[in-house]
Amino acid sequence: MSDSRPTFAFHRLDVHRIAERFAIEAGDIADRLPRGRAKLADQLRRASESTLLNISEGAAKHGPRDKAHRYGIAQAECTESAAALELIELRRLASADAVLSALHLAARVCQMLEKLIQRFGP
């Protein structure tokens, strides 16, 4: 048995690599939110992870419409994550530098997804 990791379609997408970094940074912010903010932390975690998972699913779809649809969902989840991060920033619940870094990643993911949606969309 080989020790090498299998390759999936999503491994070929730069947006997937950036979305991985985004999900990790967003998750780290969520982990550090103060007590009483469990719902906001959970929402940020779920939306950022959903961004990554929908990109992965879109890469596996064969039809262009299916790809565009899944990338559209990923973009919506990424936007939701960005809104949660901005709320965290406004309420000063996390380091401004950490939030800004995650927001930059989210913006990049959204931009890249927009190009994929345009490429595969109707």
For residue 48, the one-letter residue type is S
Question: So what's the pLDDT on residue 28?
Answer: 97
Question: Which spans in 1-122 are helix H?
Answer: 14-32, 38-60, 64-90, 96-120
Do the beta carbons of residue 59 and residue 13 sit within 8 Å?
A: yes
Confidence check: pLDDT of 13 > 70: yes
Do the beta carbons of residue 45 and residue 70 sit within 8 Å?
A: no
Which residue ranges make up each domain of the chain? 10-120
Question: So what's the pLDDT on residue 2?
Answer: 59
Rounded to an integer, what is the distance from CA 62 to the centroid of its chain?
A: 22
Which residues have C-beta within 8 Å of that of residue 59, sequence separation ≥ 6? 8, 9, 10, 12, 13, 16, 67
For residue 23, the one-letter residue type is A
pLDDT digits (tens, 9 = 90+) for 74-121: 999 999 999 999 999 999 999 999 999 999 999 999 999 999 999 997
Confidence check: pLDDT of 1 > 60: no
User: Does 3.40.980.10 match the CATH number of domain 10-120?
Assistant: no
